[in-house]
Amino acid sequence: MGELVSGPVEHLAAGGAGILTFQGKRIFMDGVAPGDTVTGRITVENRRWARAELVEVVEASPLRTHPPCPFYGSCGGCSLQHLTYEAQIAEKALILRDAFTRLGGINLPGDISFVPSPPWEYRNRIQLHGRGPVGFKARKSDEIIPINDCPVSDPGIRAVIQEAAALPPPGRDRFTLYSRLDTLVSEGIIRGKTQRRGTVSLGGKDIHIDAGVFFQSNGIMLEKLIAGLLQAAEGADTSLPMADLYCGVGTFAAFLGEGFPRADLVEENPEAIALARENTRGMETRLFAQTGDLWVKGCSMPGDYGFMVADPPRQGLSPALRRALSLKGPPVLAYVSCDPATLARDSGELTAGGYHLERITGYDFYPQTAHIESLAVFVRGA
C-alpha cells in the first residue's frame, strides 16, 4: 500500500477507470485517459490487480480535454468529462465488446455500432439532494456538493438550478426533477409550486409520467432506441401477441403494441403499472405484477409471443427467465440493457439455448459518464 506506480494507460475498464500494467499487475486508476503516461499511488492491492489514485499526468494523451464543469472531480455525477466525446464512445464500444468476449463467450464480428447523443444538456431527469442549498452527492461519499449549474442537464433543469428555485418536499432530503421541452415535473417544490405528474412528447406521442416513477433520462436517445426496437419488431410474427417485460410506464409497448393483436406488460412497481395503463389506452393489453423470478401466473408462456422486449435492471434477467427463454422463447427477442456484464452473461446463455445474436447496438444515454446502454436483438433458430 502506498507504492508508486507508473506507465501508459491502455484503455478504460467498465466503470470508467483507466487500466495500466505495472510489473505484470493490472492497475486501475480514475481520472486518466487512454494514451496518458501517469504516476499513481496504490490504495488497494490484490494478488492480480490493484487500485491506485492519480498523482501526476507525466504526459497527457491527445484524447484529453478540459472539463467544462467547475464541479467535475468533486461531484459524483460525471466521470469522463476529461475525455473527448469521440474517445468516450470508442472506449464504451471496447468495454461492450470485451464483456461479450470474457463473460458471454461471444466474439462480436466487426465494429460495434454506437449511437451518439448530444454530449451536453441531454439529461432530462436528475435527483437533487439536500435541505438547504441543493446539490449532488460527492464522488464516492454521501457528502452533498452544492451546485449552481449542471452542463449535462436539460436547459429547463439548468435554469431551475441557476435560479436556486428548487426545494425538497417536507420530510425529504432528496427529490427527482424531470424537464423536457414544455414539461417540468418534480417531487420537490419548483418556483413555489409542486407538480409531480405530466406528459412528455416522445416520438409524436404524449407519454404520461410521474416525477417519482423511473423514466429514461435522455429523451433524444430514447426516441432513437424506440426506432431500433421498431426495426427489430419488423422480423417478428405479428399474428401473435407481444410482451413488454420490466415495462416501467409502458413506453415501449405504447409504440410497439399497435403492430400486434395484444400486448402483455409486466412490471413490479404499481405506480408504473397505473401509468402504463394510461399510456397504452386504446390498445388490447394485459398488465401483470412482476414476481421475483418471472414467469408470471396468468401470463402466456414465452414461446406464445411473436415478439418480446425486456428491459431489466442492472442485475439482468433472472435465472428462471433465462432458462424459460432459452428453452422456448419468442422468435424475436429485443433485450435493452444498462449493464454490459449482465447482458453478456445472459447473451451467452440465450445463444447456447438456440438464439442467434442478430445485432448489438450501443446507445450513449449518458455522455460524460461510464454508463453503457445497449440493445441486443436475438432471433430464434436463425
- What would the pLDDT profile of 200-235 be if each residue is shown by its tens digit? 999 999 999 999 999 999 999 999 999 999 999 998
How many other CB atoms sit within 10 Å of the CB of residue 313?
12
Does position 294 have pLDDT exceeding 70, yes or no? no
Does position 262 have pLDDT exceeding 60, yes or no? yes
Q: What percent of the chain has pLDDT over 70?
A: 97
Q: Does 213 or 294 have the greater pLDDT score? A: 213
CA distances 360 to 30, 88, 191, 232, 343, Å, are: 28, 18, 43, 11, 10
| H-helix segments, the chain | 85-104, 155-162, 219-233, 251-256, 270-279, 319-328, 340-352
Give residue 288's identity as a one-letter amino acid code: F
Q: What's the rounded Cα separation, in Å, for the pair 257 and 238? A: 10
In a 3-state reduction of DSSP, which class is residue 225? helix
Please give the pLDDT value at position 292.
60
Please give the pLDDT value at position 334.
98
Q: Are residues 270 and 289 in contact, defined by beta-carbon separation less than 8 angstroms?
A: yes
**CB neighbours of 139 closer than 8 A, spacing ≥ 6?**
73, 74, 75, 76, 79
**Residue carrying C-alpha cell 441531454:** 122
| H-helix segments, 247-303 | 251-256, 270-279
Give residue 80's identity as a one-letter amino acid code: L
Q: What's the rounded Cα separation, in Å, for the pair 25 and 10? A: 13
Q: What's the rounded Cα separation, in Å, for the pair 353 and 381? A: 9
Please give the pLDDT value at position 293.
61
Does position 382 have pLDDT exceeding 60, yes or no? no
Q: 110: burial class by Cβ within 10 Å (0-12, 13-18, 19+)? A: exposed
Model pTM score: 0.95
Q: What percent of the chain has pLDDT over 90?
A: 86
Average confidence (pLDDT) over 282-303? 76
pLDDT in tens, 13-27: 999 999 999 998 999
Average pLDDT taken over every residue of the chain:
94
In a 3-state reduction of DSSP, which class is residue 12? strand
Q: What order of strands is seen across the sheet that includes strand 183-186? A: 144-146, 135-137, 125-129, 174-180, 183-186
Please give the pLDDT value at position 140.
83
Q: Are residues 199 and 341 in contact, defined by beta-carbon separation less than 8 angstroms?
A: no
Q: pLDDT tier at 295 (50, 70, 90 boundaries)?
A: low
The gap from C-alpha 250 to its chain's centroid, in whole angstroms, comes to 17
In a 3-state reduction of DSSP, which class is residue 258? helix
pLDDT in tens, 160-181: 999 999 999 988 999 999 999 9
**Least reliable range by pLDDT among 31-40, 117-126, 320-329:** 320-329
Does position 247 have pLDDT exceeding 90, yes or no? yes
Please give the pLDDT value at position 93.
96
Average confidence (pLDDT) over 50-76? 96
Average confidence (pLDDT) over 25-50? 95
Q: What's the rounded Cα separation, in Å, for the pair 15 and 84? A: 17
pLDDT in tens, 85-109: 999 999 999 999 999 999 999 998 8
Q: Are residues 96 and 374 in contact, defined by beta-carbon separation less than 8 angstroms?
A: yes
CA distances 196 to 139, 169, 274, Å, are: 28, 11, 15
Q: What's the rounded Cα separation, in Å, for the pair 25 and 277? A: 53
First-to-last C-alpha distance (Å) of the chain: 52
